[in-house]
Chain A
Amino acid sequence: MFVTPGYAEEVAPAAGEPHTDAGTAAHTETGAEHGGGGLFPPFDTSNYPSQLLWLAITFGLFYLFLKNVVLPRVGGILEVRRDRIAGDLDQAARMKSEADAAVAAYEQELAEAKAKANAIGQEARDEAKAEAEAKRKEIEAGLDQKLTAAEARIATIKANAMKEVGTIAEDTAAAIVQALGTGKVDKADIAAAVKAAGK
């Protein structure tokens, strides 16, 4: 069994005990003997004051160091990162809303342009229609005019003819009367007679 020189000194009282390398069982047994024979170290009250003092010193310093140096620093790092992430997210949100606004503006412009195009098309169509209508009306008016002119001419021709029919009848009547030799007949009487006959 190997014994570290430094340790052998400390366990001097136990060192006198017979140790065998007979087997593993023997080892555990010797271990148990030590625990029972000497004072079990964690229950040895003689080292309590030293442990308490050094624990108070070391843990106290550790606490102060963490509280005043490490924790504010780590907290600061985390806070900076959180702020940064929040800022970046805000910026991203702002950019997104800007992009959305641009898209909306584009769409509105597109819609306006479409409406304008429609309006122009409609106007052109209306204009063309109105022009065609006006031309049609003009032509119709011309035709009507020509019709009435023709009718008027027919009427004058007819009236002239009718008038000429009267004079011809009168002339014919006068000639007939003359031929019959019944003397002179008043021209006015003949006209009256023709008129009466024409009725």
Chain B
Amino acid sequence: MANDPIHQFQISKLIPIEIGGLDFSFTNSSAFMVATVIVASAFLFLTTSSRGLVPSRLQSVSEMSYEFVASMLRDAAGSQGMRFFPLVFSLFMFVLVANLIGLFPYFFTVTSHLIVTFALALLVIGTVIVYGFMKHGFGFLKLFVPHGVPGILVPLVVLIEVISFLSRPISLSVRLFANMLAGHITLKVFAGFVTSLSAFGAVGVVGSILPLFMTVAITGLEVLVAFLQAYVFAVLTCMYLNDALHPGH
């Protein structure tokens, strides 16, 4: 079903593995997770292997991504936040490379599955909660009580803050998931127009020019979205980590 825009999200088992009644098969999704990690690791590892004082082009790409994430984290969470740098950088690179790999035709997009993005978001929120309580004890709960709120409003504000805190992993994961999903479906639909229109002979070929242009344009847009969503994910991670470091607003 090449023309089914949903088909690209289907998971197929490559190596069936079942442990304790649960299906832990190595699937195409797993394969692309492995590919994402290998591509990102190999790129970062190989481009920096010469440790050039004057960087080559690829080395400066690695350095730029390092400094980009580092300055993002430092701006959002201060120099204390740098202890989370490996986490934020890993998340950024993983999401970015997974998004970009997913842009290739016939490739699976790891981040187009809600469970993956939700797991990553839970990792962030879990880190925030665990570190927040470890560092501040119950002082971390001050996060939910902003300064300068009149006493009578406190219960209401606390309720709102708690709800907004709990909705963070959902918004964080759904944003990434929905962007990748919608983008890929759109791309697939327009690309499908090209193949099916061109099946009608000369008129169809002429008619398929517009959807072809749309496909090209949307591919460009999707590259942007791939970067943007990785950036947004990383920025929000930094802001949430800032809450763990400085809960008193």
Contacts and interface: CB of A to CB of B under 8 A. Distances in A.
A10 B10 contact: yes
B7 A54 contact: no
Interface in B10-49: 10-12, 17, 22-27, 29-30, 33-34, 36-37, 40-41, 44-45, 48
Contact of B44 (A52, A61, A66): A66
A84 to B, nearest CB: 6
Contact of A66 (B41, B55, B189): B41
A92 to B, nearest CB: 17
Contact of A31 (B6, B17, B85, B86): B6
A95 B10 CA distance: 67
Interface in A1-36: 1-4, 7-8, 10-11, 14-15, 21, 23-24, 27-28, 30-31, 34-35
A46 B22 CA distance: 8
A55 B3 contact: no
B1 interface: yes
Contacts of B89: 66, 71
Interface stretch (A72-80, A119-127, A137-145, A146-154): A72-80
B181 A42 contact: yes
A4 to B, nearest CB: 6
A65 interface: yes
Contact of B48 (A15, A31, A62, A77): A77
Interface in B59-116: 59, 62-63, 66-67, 85-87, 89-90, 93-94, 110, 112-116
Interface of B: 1-7, 9-12, 17, 22-27, 29-30, 33-34, 36-37, 40-41, 44-45, 48, 51-53, 55, 59, 62-63, 66-67, 85-87, 89-90, 93-94, 110, 112-116, 119-120, 123, 177, 181, 189, 192-193, 196-197, 199
